[in-house]
Chain A
Amino acid sequence: QLQLQESGPGLLKPSETLSLTCTVSGGSVSRSTYYWGWVRQPPGKGLEWIGIIYYNGGSTNYNTSLKSRVSMSVDTSNNQFSLTLSSVSAADTAVYFCASVAATGRYFDFWGQGTLVTVSS
């Protein structure tokens, strides 16, 4: 089964750009039956969807509340996909999860363990 692992800096200053990478093992990011997604969870709060990207990078869908600051990409050579969130503020402090998304049904079936990103001056 798929295994996913997030990586990236854990501490950012306001106005900086958040960049996270998700490394996939146990399967290829080029699988046409999957999208790849990001979800975040502020401390003590619920899940918030950030966006998804199709395996070929040709199709993306972002949360409208974050759309102006979000970008996602797929790196098939390294079996990874990435998230970029610009102009971060304290409100972006959260645990960020990457996950595989079944193309049929659009449910998140495999998740990374999550990585805490703190935005603080």
Chain B
Amino acid sequence: SYVLTQPPSVSVAPGQTATITCGGDKIGTISVHWYQQKPGQAPVLVVYGDSDRPSGIPERFSGSNYGNTATLTISRVEAGDEADYYCQVWDTFSGQVFGGGTKLTAL
């Protein structure tokens, strides 16, 4: 089955840039989607199709995908960005696959 690997945690000072990675075999050949989940809430789609943003998601959220790593970048991090972030792909054999999640902390 297809496996997505994320770092358990990322810390960044407010105002700085956070980078959250999602590793997978040849992940650059498939579309990657990213979700933000705050405690006690449902996940929210923040990036789809590698780098597109749904309506209402700030431009500070951006994504890229190449080779074996997809990346979610959050510029000018705010306290309100603290959350768990999950990457997700659709794999022909495994179906929907989620990464293990990354906890973003704004120091």
Q: B42–A107 contact, CB under 8 A?
A: no
Given contacts A52-B96, A105-B31, contact A64 B42 (CB under 8 A): no
Report chain B residues within 8 Å CB of A47. 35, 37, 43, 86, 88, 98, 101
Residue-wise interface mask of B (1-27) relative to A, using a CB-CB cutoff of 8 A (1 in contact, 0 not): 100000000000000000000000000
Within 8 A of B (CB), among A47-93: 47-49, 51-52, 61-64
Given contacts A61-B95, A63-B95, A64-B1, contact A107 B33 (CB under 8 A): yes
Q: B98–A48 contact, CB under 8 A?
A: yes
Chain A residue total in the interface (Cβ 8 A): 24
Q: B42–A97 contact, CB under 8 A?
A: yes
Q: Does A113 contact B (CB under 8 A)?
A: yes
Chain B residue total in the interface (Cβ 8 A): 25
Q: B43–A49 contact, CB under 8 A?
A: no
Which residue on chain B has the smallest CB distance to residue A98? B42
CB distance from A5 to the nearest CB of B (A): 11
Q: Which residues of A contact B (CB under 8 A)?
A: 37, 39, 46-49, 51-52, 61-64, 97, 101-102, 105-109, 111-114
